Amino acid sequence: MKKYQDFAVSLTGFVLYEIYRASIKVSGKITRKYLIESLDNKDFDITRNQISKTFYNLKKSKYIIEESDSVILTGRAKIKIASEISSGIEMSGKIHLISFDIPELMRQNRDNFRRTLKRIGFVQVQKSLWATNREVGELVEIAANEYKVDKYVAYFVADKTNIDAYLNKILERE
């Protein structure tokens, strides 16, 4: 059973990432037929039946929305594959900082948001100050909205700070 669960989880992540990559190629919406054909041609040994079941589960889990003949990733899906998305984003030459002060009553949301920041590639600088050198503002916005903490989060992009040497040192380790 564990082996099947691991396969299902990896298949889910794989399909979500393929949807993301395909949507970039065609600038947004893609058809289910295009995706099935695309996945059918991959070296991931899956049947069309497994692909259909995966689509059903992704829709049920609110990772995708089907409008007419198009498949669209939800914010929840992008958070699930955040590390894969952010690793494909080039370094911007600027420092991207996040500061947040999320109330204790929203502890679970805060913890989920913090975990997502780590997966996106942020490094903790101080208690609630995080930094990265990648242009990931869209992912931050999606995560903040998804976890309903957007009004407690500040996102900054800086050309220069008074702690550049320290930031460059900790960001090089990542």
Please state, for a pLDDT cut of 90, what percent of the chain lies above it: 32
Residue 5, pLDDT above cutoff 50: no
State the pLDDT at residue 28. 62
Residue 163, pLDDT above cutoff 50: yes
Across 13-22, 24-33, 119-128, least confident range: 24-33
Which CATH number does the domain housing residue 165 bear? 3.30.70.240
If asked whether residues 110 and 166 sit together in one domain, one would say yes
State the pLDDT at residue 173. 61
If asked whether residues 76 and 92 sit together in one domain, one would say no
pLDDT tens digits, residue range 135-152? 999 999 999 999 999 999
If asked whether residues 76 and 96 sit together in one domain, one would say no
Which has more confidence, 53 or 149? 149
If asked whether residues 160 and 93 sit together in one domain, one would say yes
50 SS3 class: helix
Number of domains in the chain: 2
Write 115-123 long-range contacts (CB < 8 A, 24+).
116/79, 116/82, 116/143, 116/147, 117/143, 119/82, 119/83, 119/86, 120/82, 120/83, 120/86, 121/83, 121/86, 121/87, 121/174, 122/98, 123/170, 123/171, 123/173, 123/174
If asked whether residues 54 and 106 sit together in one domain, one would say no
Q: Report the number of secondary-structure helices (H) and strands (E) in the chain.
A: 8, 7
If asked whether residues 92 and 166 sit together in one domain, one would say yes
If asked whether residues 93 and 73 sit together in one domain, one would say no
Which range of residues forms the domain containing residue 163? 88-172
pLDDT band at 30 (very low <50, low <70, confident <90, very high): confident
State the pLDDT at residue 69. 75
If asked whether residues 59 and 97 sit together in one domain, one would say no
CA angle 119, 58, 3 (to 5 degrees): 75
